[in-house]
Amino acid sequence: MLNYKPLFFITGLILSKLALFMYIPMLLALFTADVGTQEFFLSIVLGHTASFLLLHFGRVQHFRLGVREMFLLTTLVWVIGSAFAALPFMLIEHMSYTDAYFETMSGITTTGSTVLSGLDTMPHSVLMWRSILQWLGGIGFIVMGVAILPFLNVGGMRLFQTESSEWSDKSTPKTQQLAWQILQVYLVLTICCYFGYLASGMTQFEAINHAMTTLSTGGYSTSDSSMSHFSAAAHWNASLFMFLGGLPFLLLIHAFKKRSTKHIYRDAQVLGFVKLVLVSTALITLFLWWHNTFPLADAVRISLFNVISVITTTGFGLSDFSAWGNFATLIFFFLMFAGACSGSTSGGIKIFRFQIAATLLKKQTQQLLHPRGVFPQNYNKRRVNDAIIRSLVAFILSYFITILITAAILAAFGSDLVVSLTGAITAVSNVGPGLGELIGPSGNFASLPDASKWALSVAMLMGRLEILTVTVLFFPAFWRG
């Protein structure tokens, strides 16, 4: 039997925290005499009530969570959190609950696909709530990635468990301490990003919002034209902090503590990330320059921005890259799968999985030429054993199966090949925009049918939780236990 009480209790805790964060947009609306005070207040009251009931019925003297409870809890927290956090969108913008839930799930998973338009004139409380959702989702994901996923051993994350536990042997931080350190670094970087945006000419409000959605690689903006609305300096600032948001946070913490970045430079995953950014940017820049789409300086800035935006799965828009011609479109299509480093806020398959795959491919080729040779396979100075390969394969398989099923649902409800495919990919990878006019960087998801929006909401959540965390819940064996 599953032990439900602790699940109630922890979900209640999370709801009460979410309700606390709702005070920010409520107070903003109150003090600027803008729309939203009543609606946020109502949501807060509902949130505190639900949280009180859950905490009450879930209270037990002692509890222990087994693996199955952990899986269920991880999914439940995001599903119920979104169900609650969607209320203000519905109440203020008078949108359907489907749309509100989509927008919330997209925010909290840092996907950043939106059904809203008219952002430039939208109540500040709504915009602020969207940004807060992404910011919370970002740090929630990092903490989950460091503290919970390695424990559940989903998707080859054990590789990082050993890494972090070895590191923690020296410095002995417990999980709570680690979460606290992550929060500090995340806050400091957000504040730096905020000042950068201020300096680039953004208003106070724009800078706060974009700082939150940049570090979390979320990609929500306060303008329909996203980053095209802002100065070149803002683009450089965004590129820098999206890049930082794509780095493994444990390494950033280490760098902050030791006042040294050498661990970052030497990390195989970071190096791979940097190489991928540079090579892709070079290709796209050359292509744009060759076709005289932009002058060279602009081509570099715009290419770098878009490449980082897609690889880190931020999804900010700056000049619609799906209108740059077929070659650029195809490169971005493939980059949508990539993702930045594990342990960052970014989604996607992530660099380390490609690197492990590459070492495997190298080993296999050597093996073909020298059938009796012994070729050890290493990654980041660590042996890659068969258990890691297997969980990596399981991850990538379930990743593509999720894309396949999501795309099939979208197609069955009338979307064409490009929308179905890139809509599914962008959701599972938590990128945000797809390709093409409809859902590309200059479009939005409003026109899709409700069924497609729910399918995409599930896909975003599955992508965020490394797929298998959610998939196990669909197995009858899980519930028989």
| Piece in contact with its own copies (CB under 8 A), picked from 73-81, 172-180, 307-315, 402-410 | 402-410
The yes or no reply on residue 475 touching its own copies (CB under 8 A) is: yes
Pair 438, 421: CB distance under 8 Å: no
Question: For residue 229, what is the DSSP state?
Answer: G
| Exposure string over 398-424, b if 16+ CB within 10 A, otherwise e | bbeebbeebbebbbeeebeebbbbbbb
Look at residue 65 and give its three-state secondary structure: coil
Tell me which of K ion, its own copies, none is bound by residue 112, counting a contact when its beta carbon lies within the kind-specific cut-off of 5 to 8 angstroms.
K ion
Q: Which residues lie closer than 8 Å to 247 by C-beta, 6 or more apart?
A: 264, 270, 273, 340, 341, 344
Tell me which of K ion, its own copies, none is bound by residue 421, counting a contact when its beta carbon lies within the kind-specific cut-off of 5 to 8 angstroms.
its own copies
H helix runs in 291-385, sequence order: 296-311, 326-338, 351-369
Question: How many CA atoms within 13 Å lie on the side-chain side of 241?
Answer: 30
User: Which residues 112-151 are close enough to bind K ion by CB under 5 A?
Assistant: 112
The yes or no reply on residue 423 touching K ion (CB under 5 A) is: no
Pair 466, 395: CB distance under 8 Å: yes
Tell me which of K ion, its own copies, none is bound by residue 432, counting a contact when its beta carbon lies within the kind-specific cut-off of 5 to 8 angstroms.
K ion
Binding letters toward K ion, positions 63-102, x by CB under 5 A: ----------------------------------------
User: Which residues 97-156 are close enough to bind its own copies by CB under 8 A?
Assistant: 152-154
Closer residue to its own copies in complex, CB, 31/475? 475
The yes or no reply on residue 407 touching its own copies (CB under 8 A) is: yes
Question: Least distance to its own copies from the beta carbon of 412, Å?
Answer: 5
User: Which residues 434-453 are close enough to bind its own copies by CB under 8 A?
Assistant: 435
Binding letters toward its own copies, positions 67-96, x by CB under 8 A: xx--x-------------------------
User: Which residues 194-233 are close enough to bind K ion by CB under 5 A?
Assistant: 219
CA dist list (Å): 298 to 183, 235, 311: 35, 11, 20
Closer residue to its own copies in complex, CB, 297/477? 477
| Piece in contact with its own copies (CB under 8 A), picked from 87-95, 117-125, 128-136, 365-373 | 365-373
Write the DSSP string, 305-329: HHHHHHHTT----SS-GGGS-HHHH
Give the span between the Cα atoms of 209 and 132, in whole angstroms: 8
| Piece in contact with its own copies (CB under 8 A), picked from 6-14, 82-90, 409-417, 437-445 | 409-417
The yes or no reply on residue 368 touching its own copies (CB under 8 A) is: yes
Closer residue to K ion in complex, CB, 123/315? 315
SS (H, E, C) 19-33: HHHHHHHHHHHHHCC
Tell me which of K ion, its own copies, none is bound by residue 315, counting a contact when its beta carbon lies within the kind-specific cut-off of 5 to 8 angstroms.
K ion
Tell me which of its own copies, K ion, none is bound by residue 219, counting a contact when its beta carbon lies within the kind-specific cut-off of 5 to 8 angstroms.
K ion
The yes or no reply on residue 433 touching K ion (CB under 5 A) is: no
The token pair that represents 26 in the structure block: 């409520």
Question: Least distance to its own copies from the beta carbon of 142, Å?
Answer: 21
Tell me which of its own copies, K ion, none is bound by residue 68, counting a contact when its beta carbon lies within the kind-specific cut-off of 5 to 8 angstroms.
its own copies
CA dist list (Å): 165 to 139, 170, 227, 263, 383: 20, 9, 39, 16, 16
Give the span between the Cα atoms of 463 and 4, in whole angstroms: 25
Give the span between the Cα atoms of 101 and 326, in whole angstroms: 34
In the numeric block, the tokens 């004139």 are attached to 121
Write the DSSP string, 224-246: TTGGGGS-HHHHHHHHHHHHHHT
The yes or no reply on residue 394 touching its own copies (CB under 8 A) is: yes
The yes or no reply on residue 361 touching its own copies (CB under 8 A) is: yes
Give the span between the Cα atoms of 410 and 454, in whole angstroms: 10
Please state the separation of Cα 384 from the chain's center in Å: 26
Helices 5-31 and 67-85, axial angle in degrees (round to 10): 30
Q: How many CB atoms lie within 10 A of CB 337?
A: 21
| Piece in contact with its own copies (CB under 8 A), picked from 75-83, 84-92, 139-147, 406-414 | 406-414
Write out the residues near its own copies by the rule CB under 8 A.
67-68, 71, 152-154, 326-327, 329-331, 333-334, 357, 360-361, 363-371, 386, 389-391, 393-394, 397-398, 404, 407-408, 411-412, 414-418, 420-421, 435, 468, 471-472, 475, 477-478, 481
Write out the residues near K ion by the rule CB under 5 A.
112, 219, 313, 315, 432
